[in-house]
Structure 1
Amino acid sequence: MKFPLYFSRKIAFSKDNKNNLSRVIIFIGRLSVALGIIVSLITVSTGLGSKKAIKERLGDFSGHITIKSTKSNSSYNTSVLDQEGLNIKNIKALPDVATVQQYAMVTGIMRNENSFAGIIFKGVDKDFDSLRFKKFLIAGKTPFFSGEGYNNGVVISEKIANDLHLKVKDSIVTIFSKADQKPIYRNFEVAGIYKTDIKMIDDQFVIGDINHVRRIQDMKPEEIGGLDIFFKNINKIDQDTPKVEKFIGYKNYAEKATDKYPQINDWIGLFDTNIGIIISIMLLVVIINIIMVLLILIIERTNSIGLLKTLGATNGQIRATFINYTLIIMVPGLLYGNAIGLGLLLAQKFFGIIKLNPKDYYVSVVPVDLNPLMIVSISVGILIISGLALVIPSYLISKISPVKAIKYN
């Protein structure tokens, strides 16, 4: 074993540390490291968890990317998807594509004797992924859409249900308007109620049979308004979108889930900034405290430094000894910090202790993403950066004269 590492361990585990200033200094150093680890773990885990949860909610409701016609305007009434160059079979065959579902949309007004609500009626076909949608259901079920005839069952949001005082199996009249024509009335039955916690979705969208939209929009039986494409990993959306675009034709375009709602995309982008700022502050606090610990330990053990120099130890060996000593002091702080931080995160993950207002945060519970690589990286990163930060202060040792140090008391 090399001398610096051996001697640093002897100092670290020395009984002298329990009866002098070292005890207080070591406690302060370990406490700062533990707090730094706890705050860093919570910041990164909840920040990444929030980004992931919001992206998944957006994507799982309306597709990770959506294929639309270039004729589509700002209206929610979809234009017919152009079939020239569109190859749905090849899109489904892409390795990263999980499912593809057809849809068409039209705007309308749901009305009863109590109130009314403007809605976007999203008609889906037999390829609708009801299992993916199931996570949003809070009451009832998703109707079975066979692609034939007209299914009058619809799934409405909790917000619309509350506004119109509706519950499962209630009937509701919906009015659709067409240019230069009389309004079209449809009577639907509430089959299910969903909740995504994303206001822009919950305030408007109703899921129903695509054949109703086809009839209202005078579309042919085989025509569709767009495609919702779901990837196996939403984090690869930027890499996978160009692969899909090869098979959609030049008269259609692909729109990412996050691009549909730019305000949400901007909100998600803030997480990266906030995580970076908080991690930087905590790292600075840890480094300052660890440097303080090193300097006080050097001053406290000036006699030992002088003795080591007299016995032939080089400045480099002594610096390495005290850097190793300080890093060894940090290890219990790392362990306690990880234990407490992970304990708090696991409690939040499984029990959802801390709640949020979905109107402001788009999720109702603080989400947690426990990535093992991230957890290890935080601890190793703090240890390495702290070690590098100790190099310059350790040069104070080279200024200590052996003769004066031995006399120092």
Structure 2
Amino acid sequence: MNVTRFIASKLEFKSRAALGSTAISAFVIILSTSILSGFKHEIYKSISAQCAEINLYSEDKTFPNESTIRTLKNDRRIESVQEALIEPAIIRKGNEHIGVILHNTDKIESGIIIPRSLSANLNAEKGDTLLSYFVADKVKIRKYKICEITEDPALLEKNTILAYIPSKDLRRVKNYTTHEVQCLEIRLAPHLRNRKSIDRIAPELGYSTGLQAITSTSRFPAIYDWLEILDANVLLILVLMCIVAAFNMVSGFLILIMRSTSTIGILKTLGMSTNQLMATFMRLASKNTLKGLLIGDMAAIILCLIQSKTHIIKLDPQNYFVSFVPVHIDPGDILLTNLIAWACVMIFVLIPARRISKIDPASSTKGETL
């Protein structure tokens, strides 16, 4: 057995404060990164579902041909390309009538999908029939049966109601041919839904297709700014928690070294070098740091799993864009943050470990044994 490993196994680290602070730091770090990742995941998903990351418009009212759409669909950066149609309308049930924006969808063959707020305002339930009035050169009236009621999109402007009807119905209302569209909604792959990727890809697609590109980052700049602020806050938490854990671990090991002065003196007398003794205490520090990180990780993961299944902690969607605290557990992020925290603590532990070199075996006449 390696001598440093053997001696480290015999030394006892009794600082519960150091171990506890490491566990708490790991708990806070993993919880913070999981919540931030959850916010990003949910908000990016909402933006993608409601309006897509990139919308391509034709400035001269011409429409993209099939080869252009085929090229876009073959782009690995793009998850989907939807030919979008939008039309304002008035929805009526009984004496109640409300203005809405109708968007095409290929998810249904007939009927209409409405948000919960519209359902409440019209006192309508799934299966009820609604009248839709399209006001253009000539008023057109259509009947639609409610086939689904969804949650209200949190990202839309106040008083904007978005409902969905089949693409073929909206084409007939607008007198569009099969391949005529108002714009192309480009939904990017999940890992490319951040501001930097969107702002880089949009001009490329606009140039290659000859269409005008409008991005979600220009439509919702405040949301992306808010997410960047959250990034900075989580980074600050990571730094502070690493410092707290390192400070407490350093304090604990200073006490351990002071308690083990005679042991260190005896080992030096027996021929152990300062480097071997430092390696022994560093091994003990690493073991206890990893133990604290593991305890904190397990507690944070359990809490995240409970929240992801039950949504027990609620939020106001008007302020946070989601109705609950979202969490997203990424094993890669957990491993990386643990590695950073461990490295930070080990660097700081070098400070008390260097004290070993100053211990004189001749003066270490009183102390404890292994």
Give me the TM-score of the superposition, normalised by structure 2.
0.85
Q: Which 10-residue stretch deviates more, 159-168 or 259-268? A: 259-268
The whole-number CA distance in structure 2 between the counterparts of 1:36 and 1:200 is 37
Q: Deviations over 1:103-134 (max 9, x none)?
A: 2112334345555433222134xxx2x2xxxx
Offset of residue 86 of structure 1: 6.8
Amino acid at match of 1:39: V
Q: Deviations over 1:20-64 (max 9, x none)?
A: xx53x2x22221111112111111112102211211122133334
Amino acid at match of 1:262: P
Aligned-residue sequence identity (percent) comes to: 25
Structure-2 residue corresponding to 1:123 = 104
The whole-number CA distance in structure 1 between the counterparts of 2:346 and 2:54 is 45
- Segments of structure 1 that go 5 or more residues without pairing to the other structure are 13-21, 72-79, 131-142, 145-150
The whole-number CA distance in structure 2 between the counterparts of 1:3 and 1:81 is 79
Structure-2 residue corresponding to 1:65 = 54
Contact preservation (8 Å) 1:67, 1:248:
no
Amino acid at match of 2:84: Y
Structure-2 residue corresponding to 1:228 = 185
Q: Which 10-residue stretch deviates more, 93-102 or 155-164? A: 93-102
The whole-number CA distance in structure 1 between the counterparts of 2:214 and 2:17 is 52
Identify if the C-alpha distance between structure 1 residues 260 and 375 changes in structure 2 by more than 3 Å, giving closer, same or farther. Answer: same
Amino acid at match of 1:326: A
The whole-number CA distance in structure 1 between the counterparts of 2:312 and 2:166 is 38
Q: Does 1:381 align with 2:340?
A: yes
Q: Deviations over 1:327-376 (max 9, x none)?
A: 22233323322222222222222233322222222222322222222222
Q: Which 10-residue stretch deviates more, 313-322 or 235-244? A: 235-244
Amino acid at match of 1:108: A
Alignment of 1:7-406 (within 5 A): 7-12=7-12, 23=14, 25=15, 27-70=16-59, 80=61, 82-83=63-64, 87-112=68-93, 115-124=96-105, 128=106, 130=107, 143-144=108-109, 153-178=111-136, 185-195=141-151, 197-200=153-156, 203-210=160-167, 213-214=170-171, 219=176, 222-231=179-188, 233-237=189-193, 238=197, 241=201, 245=205, 249-250=209-210, 252-406=211-365
Contact preservation (8 Å) 1:85, 1:248:
no
Q: Does 1:5 align with 2:8?
A: no
The whole-number CA distance in structure 1 between the counterparts of 2:146 and 2:247 is 61
The whole-number CA distance in structure 2 between the counterparts of 1:297 and 1:113 is 80
Amino acid at match of 2:7: F
The whole-number CA distance in structure 1 between the counterparts of 2:244 and 2:307 is 26
Offset of residue 216 of structure 1: 5.7
The whole-number CA distance in structure 1 between the counterparts of 2:149 and 2:367 is 78
Offset of residue 313 of structure 1: 2.9
Amino acid at match of 1:5: R
Identify if the C-alpha distance between structure 1 residues 330 and 402 changes in structure 2 by more than 3 Å, giving closer, same or farther. Answer: same
Identify if the C-alpha distance between structure 1 residues 114 and 289 changes in structure 2 by more than 3 Å, giving closer, same or farther. Answer: farther
Amino acid at match of 2:185: D
The whole-number CA distance in structure 2 between the counterparts of 1:350 and 1:99 is 29
Contact preservation (8 Å) 1:66, 1:255:
yes
Contact preservation (8 Å) 1:107, 1:119:
yes
Offset of residue 221 of structure 1: 5.4
Identify if the C-alpha distance between structure 1 residues 70 and 289 changes in structure 2 by more than 3 Å, giving closer, same or farther. Answer: farther
Offset of residue 194 of structure 1: 1.5
Amino acid at match of 1:394: A
Identify if the C-alpha distance between structure 1 residues 267 and 183 changes in structure 2 by more than 3 Å, giving closer, same or farther. Answer: farther
Offset of residue 210 of structure 1: 4.1
Offset of residue 187 of structure 1: 4.6
Contact preservation (8 Å) 1:68, 1:81:
no
Contact preservation (8 Å) 2:19, 2:289:
yes
Offset of residue 188 of structure 1: 3.9
Give me the TM-score of the superposition, normalised by structure 1.
0.77
Amino acid at match of 1:90: T
The whole-number CA distance in structure 2 between the counterparts of 1:170 and 1:277 is 52
- Three-state SS of the structure 2 residue aligned to 1:391 is helix
- Segments of structure 2 that go 5 or more residues without pairing to the other structure are none
The whole-number CA distance in structure 2 between the counterparts of 1:199 and 1:167 is 24
The whole-number CA distance in structure 2 between the counterparts of 1:258 and 1:342 is 32
The whole-number CA distance in structure 1 between the counterparts of 2:62 and 2:123 is 36
The whole-number CA distance in structure 2 between the counterparts of 1:222 and 1:342 is 49
Q: Deviations over 1:296-329 (max 9, x none)?
A: 1111112222223333333332222222222222
The whole-number CA distance in structure 2 between the counterparts of 1:258 and 1:234 is 15
The whole-number CA distance in structure 2 between the counterparts of 1:220 and 1:266 is 40
The Cα RMSD (Å) is 3.1
Identify if the C-alpha distance between structure 1 residues 285 and 108 changes in structure 2 by more than 3 Å, giving closer, same or farther. Answer: same
